[in-house]
Amino acid sequence: MDKALQEIVIKRSELGKIDYSNPKYDELEEQLHDLEDDFHDEFGDYLEEVLQTVHDEICPDTDILFPIAYIAKSYQLNSKNEFSVLSSDGVFVEVDKYPGKETKLVLVPNPLRMILNIGLDKQLIVWTGN
């Protein structure tokens, strides 16, 4: 699952670096959609269970979206080849434990994990993949 998610992240990055007018744009976009569809077909049911558990524990009042929605638009890669996200990334969730704070869930690869972004200054790992 981690490898498949990394492929999506890399393809999104490639697509984000080119303009709509670029002749390669449509081809890259189709490749991305194929990767996302394959990811959902292979891991969607499992990730929905993970998301249900995470939501039950930290944000029970927020509806669960399709797993693909929790993939950020962009990621950063550090010197150890580990991906990270900005604290502004993710799907909005309502977390009673952090009233008045903007909270978002996001799926991050390498290592595979679900991060809760709390405001603009805190990130909490709420699930790790095996």
Query: HEC string of the chain?
Result: CHHHHHHHHHHHHHHHCCCCCCCCHHHHHHHHHHHHHHHHHHHHHHHHHHHHHHHHHHCCCCCCCCHHHHECCCCEECCCCCEECCCCCCEEECCCCCCCCCEEEEEECCCCEEEEEECCCEEEEEEECC
Kindly report, residue by residue over 22-40, the tens digit of the pLDDT.
999 999 999 999 999 999 9
Which pTM value belongs to this model? 0.92
Percentage of the chain modeled with pLDDT above 70:
99
Query: What pLDDT, on the 0 to 100 scale, is given for residue 79?
Result: 84
Domain coordinates in residue numbering, the chain: 2-128
pLDDT over 80 (residue 130): no
Kindly report, residue by residue over 90-129, the tens digit of the pLDDT.
999 999 999 899 999 999 999 999 999 999 999 999 999 9
User: What is the spatial distance between Cα 123 and Cα 117, in angstroms, rounded to a whole number?
Assistant: 5
